[in-house]
Chains A and B, each alone.
Chain A
Amino acid sequence: ETGVTQTPRHLVMGMTNKKSLKCEQHLGHNAMYWYKQSAKKPLELMFVYSLEERVENNSVPSRFSPECPNSSHLFLHLHTLQPEDSALYLCASSQGLGGSDTGELFFGEGSRLTVL
């Protein structure tokens, strides 16, 4: 039990499909993140939300569209993806973005995406 739940754990989609990844945190945190983990590459920060407001969009292509309806839920909407987008997508949360928050991240188990 990590306190951060991601669904689905595995997803296979064609390049013309539309799908969504879901993340829910049960920790009462105020910040949520999407990271991309590809083989042999460092983790790439994609998006950051604080109190439902997007504070970081790290030059991510528009075929990835985040949504944060409340501080407990985070979505990543996917459309017209490319095979190179195949990766493990990790959701994380933290208490906040600074101040008294010392910043450790709490990760979900990840959603393994394969784009055919």
Chain B
Amino acid sequence: AQSVAQPEDQVNVAEGNPLTVKCTYSVSGNPYLFWYVQYPNRGLQFLLKYITGDNLVKGSYGFEAEFNKSQTSFHLKKPSALVSDSALYFCAVRGGNTGGFKTIFGAGTRLFVKA
């Protein structure tokens, strides 16, 4: 069965420091990989995606993610965190050999950026 794991419930980082939010997936074939962000009392917003090509993809608000096929990981990164980055982040996968059109989400990682 397809699954997405976000091993950290919460990540704390000081403003100005680099941040990483981890994601690993278990999907056969070549799925599409996504990151979404959710601010309080809001819906999810698309940040970035990996379809094919360069393993480092850039997205909104200065975020980027690195795809590693051998480790089946898709970690979200930002070189310098802002307090306003504090939110709930979801990794998601779609497609692969059996996934089709369904998007499977991880449980989410709450990011706290301290001033």
- Residue positions of A touching B, CB distance < 8 A: 2, 4, 6, 31, 40-43, 45, 48, 50, 55-56, 90, 92, 97-98, 102-110, 112
Contact = CB atoms under 8 A, between A and B. Distances in A.
Contacts of B105: 42-43
Given A2-B43, A42-B108, A110-B43, A105 B103 contact: yes
Interface in B81-102: 90, 94-95, 100-102
Contacts of A90: 43-44
A103 B46 contact: no
Contacts of A42: 4, 105-108
B52 to A, nearest CB: 10
A102 B57 CA distance: 15
Contact of B34 (A2, A56, A104, A110): A104
Nearest to A106: B46
A102 B108 contact: no
11 contacts: A2-B45, A31-B101, A42-B4, A90-B44, A92-B44, A102-B51, A103-B34, A103-B49, A103-B103, A105-B44, A112-B41
Contacts of B107: 40-42
A109 B49 contact: no
A90 B105 CA distance: 13
Interface in B49-84: 49, 51
A92 B102 CA distance: 12
Interface size class of B (residues with CB under 8 A): 20 to 34
B43 A43 contact: no
A23 to B, nearest CB: 11
A87 to B, nearest CB: 13
A104 B95 CA distance: 12
Contacts of A41: 107
Contacts of A102: 32, 49, 51
B49 A105 contact: no
B34 to A, nearest CB: 6
Contacts of A107: 36, 43-45
B58 to A, nearest CB: 15
B94 A103 contact: yes
